[in-house]
Amino acid sequence: MNAIPAATSWHERARTLSFRTQAFIDGRYLAAASGATFDTINPATGKLLARVAAGDEEDINRAVGSARAAFRQGAWANFAPAKRKKILLRFADAILKHTEELALLETLDMGKPISDSLKIDIPGAATGARALALITREPMGVVGAIVPWNYPLLMAAWKIAPILAAGNSLVLKPSEKSPLTALRVAELAVEAGVPAGVLNVVPGFGQTAGKALALHMDVDCIAFTGSTATGRMIMQYAGQSNLKRVSLECGGKSPNIVLADYPDLDKAASAAADAIFSNQGEMCSAGSRLLLQEGIKEAVLEKVQALSAKRQPGDPLDPATQLGAIVDETQMKRVLGYIEAGRRDGASVRVGGRRVREDSGGYFIEPTVFEGVRPAMAIAREEIFGPVLSAITFRTVDEAIEIANDVIYGLAAAVWTRDVTTAHRVARALRAGTVYVNCYDADDLTVPFGGFKQSGMGRDKSLHALEKYTELKTTWIDLS
């Protein structure tokens, strides 16, 4: 860079400098909707620099709407990475070409020396420093993990393995509804050579033990799998305590879309039944919404109905049983409550819908299929966590995508089609952490699992899980 001009020159430039003072929304400058402004002051003189648009909720709504529309249209999101790179490099060049203007704005606005603005801030905004540094991952320290009752050991293992592999210590709180395997596994860990204190298991209730763990000032990270409502509370507790890192795998209302061109409806129906009736439907990734294109609805539902007849609840200790008991009376009443809500809202129970095996004293519900379900109904929007399937019909592929995405969740989704172009288009459009094509619930420990939207943040399984339980450290080395 050439020699920096003298102070006199900068004062002269400042007098002729123009300021952008309006909000920038949807590609253009706009006054605040209210017309309000606020003063920005030159800290070197105490005098007014400019009056800037004072945006409020209406302006934020306009900007968010613009950003969401741009994302949905895909003009930027669907660019190839190389094209985005090319544009961003042009953006960086534009910043550098306006270095003096931007540096002067920085200095006038917040008082830093013009030499710093010219040499550090503006170039740094456009390009990275040419320097040597080492980047390492280190264990975070103490991680708290709260796991659900539906897959007690499996969900615990998804936390235990990466947490310990990264070198952390762990406090695990299993669900009070299914704590026994976690308590036994802790003993096995010590027997295998894990030092005492590295893996701790504390059974208890969410409102006591879970809350205490999430609020603890000496816990560096909290990992949670469970409902979205509880996930919100976990985030609040982290903020109320020590800003511990949070990872969440929360609820789901996963759409399973079957297009009329898919040739093997027996396979699609079998997968649809498995997706909702396996594990009594007590799965966050359950395919609880079956979206059927007009023309195949009756054929698919007939097959699902026939399959449900073969999956009647039975003794969980009988190896022939395919549908066991609901975890407890509270959850059973919750599921039955949703079934009643579906009836009240006008959906039709095609099969099931009742509590059975009451003479056993246990909590059993028939596999249940609703038809005539509208997307606005509670049974089509809220997580039931039981063997209850909501069948929804649609006309076009675009309508199916709109229905599929129109919930707060985004954990999993599926599409069945024989057209590879349609498969790719729909898979890209579905807002879900996992999309299955012509299958459902494919799984492997090497593949990440987690969701979009209110289904959580972060990923379990795969190498990506290690990212949640490590800190990045940068070490600069002076080689001079």
276 close to 288: Cβ distance less than 8 angstroms: yes
Q: Exposure of 273 by Cβ count < 10 A (0-12 exposed, 13-18 middle, 19+ buried)? A: buried
Spell out the SS3 assignment of 55-120.
Answer: CCHHHHHHHHHHHHHHHHHCCCCCCCHHHHHHHHHHHHHHHHHCHHHHHHHHHHHHCCCHHHHHHH
Residue with tokens 């099931």: 352
Q: Could you tell me if residue 145 is left (phi over 0), alpha (psi between -120 and 50 degrees) or otherwise beta?
A: beta
Q: Exposure of 258 by Cβ count < 10 A (0-12 exposed, 13-18 middle, 19+ buried)? A: buried
Q: Between β-strands 388-394 and 368-371, what pairing exists: parallel, antiparallel or unpaired?
A: parallel
Q: Which of the residues are catalytic?
A: 249, 284
Q: How far apart are CA 273 and CA 8, in angstroms?
A: 78
Q: Exposure of 227 by Cβ count < 10 A (0-12 exposed, 13-18 middle, 19+ buried)? A: middle
Q: How far apart are CA 384 and CA 286, in angstroms?
A: 10
Q: How far apart are CA 55 and CA 467, in angstroms?
A: 37
